[in-house]
Amino acid sequence: MQALILFLLSLSLSNQTEKPEVKILKSEFIYETAPFPQCHASTLIENEEGILAAWFGGTHERHPDVSIYTAQLNGEKWSEPKKAADGVENEQTRYPTWNPVLYRLDNGKTVLFYKIGPNPREWWGAYKLSDDLGKTWSEEIPLPDGILGPIKNKPVALSNGKILYPSSLETEEKWTIHVESSDSNLENWKKTEIENGKFNAIQPTVFFHPDGRLQMLCRTQEGKIGVTWSDDQGATWTPVQATNLVHNNSGIDGVTLQNGYHLLLCNPIPKGRNKLSLMGSTDGVNWEELLVMEDEKKGEFSYPAIIQASDGTVHLTYTYNREKVKYAQLKIN
């Protein structure tokens, strides 16, 4: 429901032409110590208690002990990291888990999507449900054959009642983006292909535009962020093309604010993951740097997630040197 409200509000794009002012209200690590040495790929949603975050953690990426963890921000304090899912198949077999994505259904249930498998070429999609804001979770529910769910970034609710999932596929030959959709009950799944052309593209993120168009930006191997557009609520998409955004082939995420302004978190450098910036745009085409989140000679600041809360503030998380998850709350005027 919140995503649908966001869509309706975004139909009246603000006339703002000046660069907005960004104020950091809070910046902190979600945890200082955890029962795992490495972490990556955070996601977050707003709920009645505050902000719920999830990520994967373990010995290192691809290690079989990598599991999905969550933490809840209640007021000023984050809860201790708590395991929500793992890749245990039986006593002899265990796989790593990957890229959790949180989502709230219209009925109030929280969905935790994630991937299971030895690597991104062989993983499969699953999810769990929570009736108590992520405190406890259901048993693992597999997604239908051929459906992976949201690969890294959040699903969005469309005005036609469907949920749209930005997704992608990695094979040895090529990376390709596509979208998947379901109804509001997580049933009637459908996969829609997108022409990727020369681009090796994955992990798209969705933006809403005032004329009803949808836009997705995506990570590519070709040195630029890719873009595709839909004029029919995600039924068809234009071929992937290059934007003018230089990028390093790492995860991105974005959000369309209630006033129609667009925000994008990315690594705006050709190599490395040592700089992370917040970009802004009125049209989704022309972007400017609003705030530098991290900029060091060495280090990894990557795989961001970003949302706008009901009070208008912006919340974001990202991987900090694979050791911690960093969180920030922003006010944008």
Whichever domain contains 45, its CATH number is: 2.120.10.10
**pLDDT tens, residue by residue, 251-297:** 999 999 999 999 999 999 999 999 999 999 999 999 999 999 999 99
Tens of pLDDT, residues 30-78: 999 999 999 999 999 999 999 999 999 999 999 999 999 999 999 889 9
> What is the domain range of residue 233?
2-332
| CA–CA separation, 132 and 137 (whole Å) | 8
70 neighbors 43 (Cβ within 8 angstroms): no
Q: Which percentage of the chain shows pLDDT scores above 70?
A: 95
Q: pLDDT per residue over 196-215, tens digit each?
A: 999 999 999 999 998 889 99
Cβ count near 78 (within 10 Å) = 20
pLDDT(15) > 60: no
Q: What is the pLDDT of residues 98-110, one digit of tens each?
A: 999 999 999 999 9
Q: Which amino acid is at 187?
A: E
Q: Domains in the chain: how many in total?
A: 1
Residues 6+ apart with CB under 8 A from 231: 212, 213
Identity at 178, one-letter amino acid code: H
At 100 the three-state DSSP class reads strand
pLDDT digits (tens, 9 = 90+) for 172-181: 999 999 999 9
Torsion of Cα atoms, 144 then 187 then 309 then 282, to 10°? 80
Q: Return the pLDDT at 13.
A: 45
1 and 298 Cβ atoms separated by less than 8 Å: no
